[in-house]
A and B are shown apart, each in its own frame.
Chain A
């Protein structure tokens, strides 16, 4: 079973649409959760952390369900500039280390005019 699973998409949506991405993770001991954004041929950039209580940053809302090991990202009022690949990322701590980020393959979003 893959460690972090995402629907690869692509999601093709018109400007102004609301789009939701889902992610599941296999390690119940995972401690921190994030959504990253990666543009083509660029490095990933942190979009937002994800908390159990849910959190919102402008048009972006992230949710975490620890019981189901499920993470979501909702984007409202999509903009052309939102076109990118969205990576679900989980932090594992093991062996006394500070932990490593485990990346999903990403979900590609394409927002059309």
Chain B
């Protein structure tokens, strides 16, 4: 099946710094990529949807200036958490959708902000 990778798989950073997470579709072109966030014992919450070459669409309550999304190619999307704070500590999961509308999830990135 289709493979989606994320890098890094985990990261620890200091409060106030920025962190970039990469999401790649390895063997297919992703027309749409999604970014989710999951806090402990909570459901996956969609943060934003991005289509290649256009601006991301953010869900209500998600600050677009804090969570910068770049979808520069059909195989790569990046999420940058700017000026991270401890409350941003979470499990960030990307997902990529192929032309057939199948959606595949990356392995996730665990972010800890100290």
Binding site for B on A (CB under 8 A): 4, 8, 41-45, 87, 97-98, 100-106
CA distance A104 to B42 in the complex (A): 8
How far apart sit A101 and B44, CA to CA, in the bound complex (Å)? 10
Q: By the criterion CB–CB under 8 Å, are B91 and A41 in contact?
A: yes
Main secondary structure on chain B at its contact with chain A? strand
B residues in contact (CB < 8 Å) with A: 32, 34, 41-46, 49, 91, 93, 95, 97, 101, 103, 105-108, 110
Closest to B104 in A: A46
Q: Are A104 and B43 in contact (CB under 8 A)?
A: yes
Known A104-B43, A106-B43; further 15 A-B contacts with Cβ < 8 A = A8-B41, A41-B91, A41-B108, A41-B110, A42-B108, A43-B107, A43-B108, A45-B105, A87-B43, A87-B44, A97-B49, A100-B46, A100-B49, A103-B45, A105-B43
B41 is contacted by which of A41, A42, A105 (Cβ under 8 Å)?
Answer: A105
Beta-carbon contact of A98 and B44 below 8 Å: no
The answer to whether B93 and A43 touch across the interface, beta carbons within 8 angstroms, is yes
Q: Do A98 and B43 have beta carbons less than 8 Å apart? A: no
CB contact between A101 and one of B91, B103, B107, B110 (< 8 Å): that residue: B103
The reply to whether A42 and B44 contact each other, CB–CB distance below 8 Å, is: no
**A residues near B42, Cβ cutoff 8 Å:** 105
Closest to A95 in B: B57
25 residue pairs of the A-B complex, CB under 8 angstroms, read: A4-B43, A41-B110, A42-B107, A43-B93, A43-B105, A43-B106, A43-B108, A44-B44, A45-B105, A87-B43, A87-B44, A97-B49, A98-B32, A98-B97, A98-B101, A100-B34, A100-B46, A101-B46, A101-B95, A102-B46, A103-B43, A103-B44, A103-B45, A104-B43, A105-B43
